[in-house]
Chains A and B, each alone.
Chain A
Amino acid sequence: EDQVTQSPEALRLQEGESSSLNCSYTVSGLRGLFWYRQDPGKGPEFLFTLYSAGEEKEKERLKATLTKKESFLHITAPKPEDSATYLCAVQGGVSDSGYALNFGKGTSLLVTP
């Protein structure tokens, strides 16, 4: 069974203080690893897809990386508007759940001025 574990559960940063969020996963036949951002009262919003170990994707202050067992979301010089919950999800080989994404519980990030 696919498992996704995110750490830490919550993270508080000062504006400009860089850090990383972790996503550890076990999956049978990884098709893709996905990062989403969720603001309070909103649905998750897609950020990145990573397909294979060694791959990296960047968007503004965010960079996602992937190894065979985990993914990191690096946040460089964060701003208060980066405050949100960041969700990691994996998509494995076809199963009873089809190709549905299996989400972790998320990391709640708060960036203070």
Chain B
Amino acid sequence: DSGVTQTPKHLITATGQRVTLRCSPRSGDLSVYWYQQSLDQGLQFLIQYYNGEERAKGNILERFSAQQFPDLHSELNLSSLELGDSALYFCASSALLGAGELFFGEGSRLTVL
């Protein structure tokens, strides 16, 4: 158990809809990363928050947004969903801003029909 909790584990929705994925980092970790994993692209970095502030952006679509709350949990919002958004979405946390040892949750599997 990594200590990172993600909900929901599975989500099925329709094109055009909006969903919210939730992540609780390990106790004490200030940094939260979101990654998207698909079969053809592998793990793709989306966005990072550190202690409530956005610190880095990767290949995140404009339809996607995220935030980190004062209690350090994070949410990833995906809107105007398309079939191609179907993927596993992972949250990872670390204690330090530039740490390479990340602790991943078990992921949220999103299926867009």
Contacts and interface: CB of A to CB of B under 8 A. Distances in A.
Interface in B80-113: 90, 92, 97-107
A89 B58 CA distance: 15
Contacts of A96: 56-58
Interface in A60-102: 87, 89, 91, 96-102
Contacts of A100: 33, 45, 48, 56, 58
Interface in B5-62: 33, 35, 41-45, 48, 55-58
Interface of B: 2, 4, 33, 35, 41-45, 48, 55-58, 90, 92, 97-107
Contacts of B58: 96-97, 100
A98 B48 contact: yes
Interface stretch (A12-20, A21-29, A40-48): A40-48
Given A43-B90, A106-B42, A98 B56 contact: yes
Contact of A43 (B55, B92, B97, B98): B92
A45 B100 contact: no
Given A99-B97, A106-B42, A46 B102 contact: yes
A41 B88 CA distance: 9
A8 to B, nearest CB: 15
A3 B48 CA distance: 20
Contact of A91 (B42, B43, B100): B100
Given A43-B107, A100-B33, A87 B56 contact: no
A84 B29 CA distance: 27
A13 to B, nearest CB: 22
A87 B100 contact: no
Contacts of A41: 106
A41 B90 CA distance: 11
A104 B103 CA distance: 17
B42 to A, nearest CB: 4
Nearest to A100: B45
Nearest to B97: A99
